[in-house]
Amino acid sequence: CKLFPESMYVTTFEINLLQVILMLLLIDIFQTVCHYLAHTHLRHTLLGRSHAIHHTNRNPKPQDAFFTGIVDSVAQVIIPICLVLHIVEPSKYSAILFGSLYSWWLLFLHSDPCHEYKILEYLHIVTPKYHHKHHTNPTTNFSNLLRL
């Protein structure tokens, strides 16, 4: 039984940017729904308590991006990534680029909120300033990529 789609075991170098974009959009949808549930309907469950660990720092730094509980990690990162990989069936290198970009983006979101990113804000893309609002008021701003 293989963990990843068959497409990821092919060793030819190929990056499909449309697959990478689709994976980023799908992970944002899956993660946003799970994140919303962790703060609302499931906040008193194991998932909600596990995610609360991530919010112990109201002014997060990049090193806090992956600071969370194991249940939260599985529910909001591992399962959504596995779903995305099986839906899109990307090449190995498209998957590597997706993982690199998404993990970098999560670090970026937890960086300095004082810096302005006008072009990203104009495009309705989540910025550190937008995400930091979530850390001060956890009932808002649940997405990580597109401001919904």
Q: What is the pLDDT of residues 113-146, one digit of tens each?
A: 999 999 999 999 999 999 999 999 888 999 999 9
CB distance 94 to 20 below 8 Å: yes
**Residue range 23-47: average pLDDT?**
95
Q: What is the token pair recorded at 47?
A: 């998932």
- The pLDDT, as a whole number, for residue 3 is 87
What average pLDDT does the chain have? 93
pTM: 0.92
Per-residue CA distances from 80 to 73, 75, 76, 129 (Å): 10, 7, 6, 25
Write down the pLDDT at residue 59. Answer: 87
Residue positions counted in the chain: 148
Block residue for tokens 């990821």 = 8
**Cα–Cα distance measured from residue 132 to residue 126, given in angstroms and rounded to the nearest whole number:** 10
Q: What is the mean pLDDT of residues 44-58?
A: 91
| pLDDT single digits (tens) 58-94 | 888 999 889 999 999 999 999 999 999 999 999 999 9
**pLDDT class for 1, splitting at 50, 70, 90?**
low
Q: Distance between CA 148 and CA 133 in Å, rounded? A: 14
